[in-house]
Copies of this chain bind each other. A is one copy, B any other.
Amino acid sequence: MVKRLGTGTLLFENMPRVEGFASVVGKKESEGPLGALFDKTEYDSRGGCETFEEAESRLQQEAARLCMEKADLRAQELDAVFAGDLLNQCTGSSFGLMHYGAPYLGQYGACSTMAQALLMAAVFTESGAADHALCVTSSHFCAAERQYRFPMEYGAVRTPTAQWTVTGAGSCILGKSRGKVAVRAAAVGKIQDMGVTDANNMGAAMAPAAADTILRFLHDSGTAAEDYDRIVTGDLGLVGSGILYDLLRREGVDAEPLHDDCGLLIFDREAQDVHAGGSGCGCCASVLCSKLLGELESGVLRNILFVATGALLSPTTAQQGRSIPSVAHLIHLTAVE
């Protein structure tokens, strides 16, 4: 059963296990600091497909396939698939996963979608609704760029606060008992909106959501930041991470020494010219499903908070001058014997 520690803060009494995980990334991501940890690199930005959007679907399809392979499960054994992406109407997921024929539940939390999918899979597993639930999310630089910003051919200059959308996908399967990493607890995010309207500064828009969720989780669970080996946010980048430290310090929490950000881990900011860091549903998903779960499995890490953040805007709302509401979902992952 799931125990509620507070509004939206959940404790999983049977601790669903990670049965397998896999990541697929693009060429630029493979050249970054985590390059050796990803399962597969797709060197062609169209992935052998006709369009960038189709290529993104392929990333998701491949990540799910490799994940099933590593978990020694077939698609017919999946009770639920939780998936999402940034493309309009989440077509990266629907087109990427339809051929598996598994029960499909599309999720939308922008770049927080991987944490949301894990949370759903954990509740399904804990409740008996699923023996095996697959999570997968993706993003693609070219598909995102032309949807959110400018046509690729335009070669637009980027602001220093802008983040670089990761080309990649990450997938993991939660189940009842197999596996060395477990989901211990989670916190569902509440939407925060501080009035930021600059769509080229997502980190600033999302930091308050991360701070709110982290503070609420620490309070509800009766734990301190120091009780965890790392607090890893999804895609705040350089600007957002700094704001997060400030917001947490105001509440007496010093997260800086414990903090990593997937958007800063995946690229070498200076050498790879990605400005404030990486972003996109595929960023924290591919970092989680390579480095983070790998280090939890091998015992390098014992206990982490994975906090994925999402900016819930669209190009339309940005053009209409509206602010950027954001959300952050938190997953407490722990190593088990």
> Chain A residues in contact with chain B, CB under 8 A?
1-4, 7-8, 10, 50-51, 53-54, 76, 78-80, 84, 86-91, 94-95, 97-98, 101-110, 116, 119-120, 123-124, 126-131, 147, 188-193, 312-317, 320, 322, 325, 327
Which 6 residue pairs of A and B lie closest in terms of their CB atoms, listed nearest first? A8-B103, A127-B127, A103-B188, A94-B312, A89-B314, A98-B191
Once A105-B116, A322-B95 are accepted as A-B contacts, the answer to whether A128 and B191 lie under 8 Å apart by CB is no
Dominant SS among interface residues on chain A: mixed
**A85 CB, nearest partner CB in chain B, Å:** 10
Judge whether B80 and A128 touch: CB under 8 Å. Answer: no
Judge whether B110 and A89 touch: CB under 8 Å. Answer: yes
Chain B residue with the shortest CB-CB distance to A104: B191
Within 8 Å CB of A76, what residues of B?
Answer: 7
Query: Which of B89, B104, B127 is A126 in contact with, Cβ under 8 Å?
Result: B127
**A59 CB, nearest partner CB in chain B, Å:** 16
Judge whether B50 and A320 touch: CB under 8 Å. Answer: yes
**A157 and B336 alpha carbons, distance in the complex (Å):** 62
**A252 and B128 alpha carbons, distance in the complex (Å):** 32
Judge whether A104 and B314 touch: CB under 8 Å. Answer: no
Judge whether B190 and A106 touch: CB under 8 Å. Answer: no
**A98 and B76 alpha carbons, distance in the complex (Å):** 37
Query: Which of B98, B128, B190 is A4 in contact with, Cβ under 8 Å?
Result: B128
Judge whether B98 and A51 touch: CB under 8 Å. Answer: no
**A126 and B124 alpha carbons, distance in the complex (Å):** 10
Chain B residue with the shortest CB-CB distance to A85: B108
**A8 and B103 alpha carbons, distance in the complex (Å):** 6
Judge whether A8 and B193 touch: CB under 8 Å. Answer: no
Chain B residue with the shortest CB-CB distance to A193: B98
Once A116-B105, A188-B105 are accepted as A-B contacts, the answer to whether A95 and B317 lie under 8 Å apart by CB is yes
Within 8 Å CB of A128, what residues of B?
Answer: 1-4, 127
**A51 CB, nearest partner CB in chain B, Å:** 6
**A281 CB, nearest partner CB in chain B, Å:** 11
Judge whether A95 and B53 touch: CB under 8 Å. Answer: no
